[in-house]
Every structure is written in structure tokens, then in C-alpha cells.
Structure 1
């Protein structure tokens, strides 16, 4: 009877540790998807922003659309920064947060009372910093997530 109880206890412990491992893998995959989506959102902005800036210089409606997109992007970056990453991705997450903070600071500098100052936007490091996210995406992919 004791052997049966011991065997069942060991079996249950193995099953519980397996569930924990699967949970960690699932969390890691979920984080990788969120990080990839976040980086792709920033890259999309970097690709479309130059044309949007030109349009905004000539059209008030386009300027308002660009302002709204920047505000939304800031909110998304702040939300991403608040994510609790899995242990395997903590270093990469810290790097992403640092880059997000640089972009948020730059974006806040080009916004004055909710309105964008176009000539300042073009001379910021926002687009250079966004391009640096590609290297972080490669690191994330190398983790096998």
C-alpha cells in the first residue's frame, strides 16, 4: 500500500511539473507573439510616417490623423512596457522597453498641447530607434520562441 501511495505521489509530482513547464512554454510563445506584433506595429509606422508627414504638412486632416496615430502608438508602447515577460525573454524585454521609452520621449517632445510639430518630427531619432527593433526581433527569434 505504501509503495502504491509513493508511486502515485511521484506520478502526480511529475504531472504537475510537466504542467508548469507547459505553462512556461505557453507564456514564452505568447510573449514572443506580442513582442513580434509590437515590433511590426512600430516598423509599419516607420514605413508610413514619411508620407504621412508630407501629407500632414499640406492638409490639416492628415495632420490630425498623424497626431492620433502617434498618441495611439504611445499608448501601445506604454501597454507593452507593462507586460511581465517570461524569464527567458527578460533581457530582450528590457531592451524593448528602453527603446520604447526613447521613442515615447521623442514623440512627446514633438507634440505640443496635443498637436504635432512636423519639422521637429522629421529631425528626431524616432525612426532610427524603430529600425533598431529589427535586431531585437532577430534575438527574439533566436530564442526559439
Structure 2
């Protein structure tokens, strides 16, 4: 009887550890997918918004569109920063979070300028938001490889 219990507990332990490993792989793949989607959003934002920002200096409708896109990107950044990275990708995730924080500062500066009616070409030149988001793409490429 004792042997049966021991065998049962050993088999249960092995089964649970196998499930845990499979769950870890699934979490890594899910994270890589989320990171890839975020990279696509950040890349599109980085390509589209600089021209929109230039137009927004003299065009109220462009300024409103810019404000909307900036707010949306802030939400995307916050959501990505809150993702739980798998252990294998924790360092890369932290690098993206650091770049995101720099981008967030730039986005906040834009929003302050828009809301204060102070959006001008100088505000555009001194903003790191776009550069930070473009730098994220190379880090995300490394994260995508975690899923392979």
C-alpha cells in the first residue's frame, strides 16, 4: 500500500512539473506575441506621428488627431510595461520598459504643449519620444526570438 502511495505521489509530481514546463513555454510564446504586436504599434506610431506633429503646429484638426494618437500610445506603453515577462526575457523587457519611460516623458511633453497651446517647431525638435520608440524595435526583435 505504501508503495502505491509513493508511486502515485511521484507520478503526480512528474505530471505537475511537466505541466509547469509547458505553461512556461506557453507564457513565453504569448509574451513574444504581445511584444511583437507592441513593436508593430510603436513602429507605426514612430513613422506616422512626426509628420502629423509638424502639421499640428498650424492645423487644429491635425493637433487633435495628434493628441488622440499620443493618448493611444500612452495606453499601449502602459499596457506593455505591465506585462509579466518570462524569466528568460526579463532583461529585454526591462530594456523596453526603460525606452518606454523615455518615450512617455516625450509624449507627456507633447500633450502639455498641445493642451497649453504651445506646440511649435522647437517642441518637436527636442522630443525623444520617436527615437525611443524606434529603438524599441531592435529589442523586440530579440524578444521575438524567445518564441522560436
Q: Specify every segment of 5 or more residues in structure 2 that has no aligned partner in the other structure, as ranges.
A: none
The reply to whether residue 142 of structure 1 matches residue 140 of structure 2 is no
1:61-100 correspondence to structure 2 within 5 Å: 61-100=61-100
Deviation at 1:46, TM superposition (A): 0.8
Deviation at 1:84, TM superposition (A): 2.1
Which stretches of structure 1, 4 residues or longer, exceed 3 Å deviation after superposition?
Answer: none
1:102-141 correspondence to structure 2 within 5 Å: 102-112=102-112, 115=115, 117-119=119-121, 120-141=123-144
Q: Counterpart of 1:39?
A: 39
Deviation at 1:8, TM superposition (A): 2.1
Answer yes or no: is the 8 Å Cα contact 1:110–1:118 preserved in 2: no
Deviation at 1:59, TM superposition (A): 2.3
CA distance in structure 1 between the partners assigned to 2:90 and 2:18 by the alignment: 22
Q: Counterpart of 1:101?
A: 101
Deviation at 1:57, TM superposition (A): 3.3
TM-score, normalised to structure 2's length?
Answer: 0.86
CA distance in structure 1 between the partners assigned to 2:111 and 2:120 by the alignment: 9
SS of residue matched to 2:147: coil
CA distance in structure 1 between the partners assigned to 2:111 and 2:77 by the alignment: 16
Deviation at 1:113, TM superposition (A): 6.6
Q: Specify every segment of 5 or more residues in structure 1 that has no aligned partner in the other structure, as ranges.
A: none
Q: Counterpart of 1:14?
A: 14
TM-score, normalised to structure 1's length?
Answer: 0.87
Answer yes or no: is the 8 Å Cα contact 2:54–2:124 preserved in 1: no
